[in-house]
A = this chain, B = another copy of it.
Amino acid sequence: MARIAVDAMGGDFAPRAPIAGALLALGALPPHHQIELIGQTAVIESELDALLRGELAELAHVRDRITIVEAPDVIEMSDKPAAALRRKPNSSMVVGVKRVAEGEAQGFVSAGSTGAQMAISLMVLRLHAGITRPAIGAIFPSAKQPVLVLDVGANVDCAPEELVQFARIGTVYAKALLGRDNPAIGLLSIGEEAEKGNLAVKEAHQRLLGAGLNFLGNVEGRDLPKGACDRGLIDVVVCDGFTGNILLKFYESIGPFLIGMVSKVGQLDPRQVMGSLKQFDVDEYGGSPLLGVRGVSVISHGKSSPKAIKNAISVAVRAWESGMTDEIGRRLAESVPEAPAAPAAPVTGPAK
């Protein structure tokens, strides 16, 4: 049984979207799962009533699997992330993350400020030993299977060892949440040769050769939409959070733009086209667990719809059920961050 804490006050469409998303999730999840809505009790109760009397009336039977946890304060987008924990200890985000830290909930989902959620998760849940920063992964649709890209914004300037950590974390994520067997890792660069790339990438390439992972070598920008490079399918792409964030936002923007243009040429209804291209629906994954912290904290987009929140709650349940968090901790503990430069030839099997 999992109990997921949902930030009822976070996101552009709160409280309606997170509360509706929680109801939809309970309608879809097995009956032993429960949800805690975190926020202002009166606001949540009134919104729940309105939804269950109106558009979500058919979900009245899930109401008794919801509890409300009072949190009077709300973190705004204008609040400084680093100060949010100290200044608003009774906010829905702090209270929700603490439910996870205390073992009362098995995961937390929020569509509120990403920066604040990262900072609070980092301070309250703390990092696994062996890593210096958490990472955010994003799922990129491709012509083949979806590709996990990390980091997409938690870390702007990355040391080579941090890129190796992302590869380890991504391997566990792709196994646990994407069901990939022996996930293939690509290092994002500007050419497939080991000597191509910036300083951090060139050094990371050498270290990845000896990291005991299924490392494909460098992949290029052109390989991402294909989901493959000359050496096979790609499951995970590793990059610094500066490059990853720019690429993610570019992808989120270019999809609707191109679909709109082609629809115009073909006199199609762009919304219908979008509806047929499920893989470009950003709501489909709903959110990404913050990777590297000791607990499940799923970050959703500020513009999350009820459907996105519903799917983010599923991500939290699967992250918890798969034991991904503990597995990331184990894999990181196995690695030796301060190892000397890796050998030039690939090493098979993890260095246990």
Contact = CB atoms under 8 A, between A and B. Distances in A.
A246 B268 CA distance: 31
Interface in A178-235: 188-190, 197-199, 201, 220-226
Nearest to A202: B156
B221 A246 contact: yes
Contacts of A246: 188-190, 220-221, 239, 243, 247
Contacts of A252: 221-222
Interface string A118-156: 000000000000000000000000010000000001001
A257 B142 CA distance: 9
A254 B226 CA distance: 8
A222 B253 contact: yes
A13 interface: no
A247 B221 contact: yes
A56 interface: no
Contact of A253 (B189, B226, B258): B226
A158 to B, nearest CB: 9
Given A197-B156, A255-B258, A266-B262, A222 B249 contact: yes
Contacts of A276: 265
Contacts of A201: 242
Contact of A254 (B243, B254, B261): B254
Contacts of A255: 258
Number of copies: 2
Contacts of A143: 257
Q: How many interface residues does chain A have, given as a range?
A: 35 or more
Nearest to A190: B245
A242 B190 contact: yes
A143 to B, nearest CB: 6
Interface in A235-282: 239-243, 245-255, 257-259, 261-263, 265-266, 268, 273, 276-277
Given A258-B258, A266-B268, A268-B266, A221 B199 contact: no
Nearest to A199: B157
Given A246-B247, A247-B246, A277-B261, A221 B188 contact: no
Contact of A259 (B239, B243, B249, B258): B258
A192 to B, nearest CB: 12
24 contacts: A156-B190, A156-B197, A156-B199, A157-B198, A190-B242, A190-B249, A221-B246, A221-B247, A224-B254, A225-B250, A225-B253, A225-B254, A246-B247, A247-B247, A250-B250, A250-B251, A251-B254, A254-B258, A258-B259, A259-B262, A262-B262, A262-B277, A265-B273, A266-B266
Given A265-B268, A265-B277, 17 more contacts: A153-B190, A156-B199, A188-B246, A190-B249, A197-B242, A198-B240, A221-B245, A221-B249, A221-B251, A224-B250, A224-B254, A226-B257, A239-B246, A242-B243, A250-B250, A250-B251, A262-B263
List the 5 shortest-distance A-B pairs measured between CB atoms, nearest first.
Answer: A221-B249, A221-B250, A222-B253, A221-B246, A262-B262
